[in-house]
Structures are given as C-alpha cells and as structure tokens.
Amino acid sequence: VSSSSTDLSDGTNTIDAPSIGSVTVSAGSSATATFTMTVPTTPAGDYTGTITGTDTSNSANTEDITYTLTVESEDSFSLSASSIDFTIEDSDESESFSITNTGSTTLSSWSFNFTSSDGDTGKVLDNDDDEMTISFSGASSSLSPGSSMTITVSANPDSNFDFGSYSGTIGVSAT
C-alpha cells in the first residue's frame, strides 16, 4: 500500500503534507505506516488533512482517512542581538535590533525597559548625576507568528554628561 497526504489546513493557514512511505500488507492483516511532520511557526489551532492509501496492485482500491494535528499555543520570540554597544562622544546615538515571533500566537502589548547597572530605570547617571536617557521606538502593536519588527534604542545624553563605560539591561516582554 502506498500512502500520501494532502496539506493540512485550519481554513486559513496551511502546513505542508508529510511524506509517507509504502508498507506491505498481507491479505487479511493490517500494517502501520509512520511519518514525521515538520510544523513551521504557525498560528495555534486544529489543522486537518487527508491520508489516502492506495493498493499498489490495484490503484482503483483506495481508502481515505481524515486526520487532525493540533498546534498548541506558544508565546515566544527571539532577539537578533544579545547585546548593544553605543559609542557616544557628544550627541545622541541609536542602535537597532530585531524581534521575531517564534511562537504560534500573535504577540501584542510590547513592553521595553532599560535598567542601568546602578538600578536606575530608563537612564544612566554619571558621577555628578547628569543623565543619559534610554528610549525605544519602532514597536508594532502586534506581531504575528513568523513576523519580525525592528526596535531602535536611543541614548540621549545631557550636555554635561560625563562619557565613560556604563552598562545596563534591556527588558523585552509581550503578551
């Protein structure tokens, strides 16, 4: 018996059909055909396809079986950079990184924050409390599975800011 499958669909999105090999079935017995599916980043839901088994000695003898693959909801994303370095000498500086939705749900309500190594939020203070603010721009209101967006991080120092080596942590979250 040779087997084939249609692509799986949830009515809007599609998952490519798996490759299914042939199995030998003796008269009056049964056999199991196994296959592996590769599920891409796709929205959560139930995806339905049809497996067709065909008798290799009589192609008119076929059997269809409908099957369903459930893609569970997963919220996850990846960042293109693990660190960002600014070289600021006397004016504002901007750097960018990308976020890719690697999960199965649309992510929204994006939140970005910066905390300096001294614990200050949204800014870095030098030794006499001059300030360099850290801000974010470019966030979409939502990001569908497999999509990406670019975030720009801007560092804006006061005119009297003492340049040197400063560090902090950028936090990114979404729901």
Tens digit of pLDDT for each residue in 93-111? 999 999 999 988 899 999 9
Report the residue count for the chain.
175
| Stretch among 26-30, 39-43, 105-109 having the lowest mean pLDDT | 39-43
Instruction: Report d(CA 11, CA 166) in Å as an integer.
Output: 52
* pLDDT score for 21: 82
Residue 123 neighbours by CB under 8 Å, 6+ apart:
114, 116, 131, 132, 133, 134
Using pLDDT thresholds of 50, 70 and 90, give the confidence band for residue 62: very high
**Closest to 172 measured CA to CA, from 43, 78, 41:** 78
Q: CB-based burial of residue 155 (10 Å sphere; 0-12 exposed, 13-18 middle, 19+ buried)?
A: buried
pLDDT confidence tier of residue 40, bands split at 50, 70 and 90: confident
Q: CB within 8 A of 73, min separation 6: which ones?
A: 44, 103, 104, 105
Q: Distance (Å, rounded) from C-alpha 56 to C-alpha 149? A: 50
pTM of the entire predicted model: 0.68
118-153 pLDDT, tens per residue? 999 999 999 999 999 999 999 888 999 899 999 999
Q: Is 41 a residue whose pLDDT tops 80?
A: no
- Mean of per-residue pLDDT scores for the chain: 92
Range 8-35 average pLDDT: 90
What's the pLDDT band for 27 if we cut at 50, 70, 90? confident
pLDDT at 33: 86
Rounded CA separation 94/88 (Å): 9
What would you measure as the largest C-alpha separation in the chain, in angstroms? 89
CB 95 within 8 A of CB 87: no
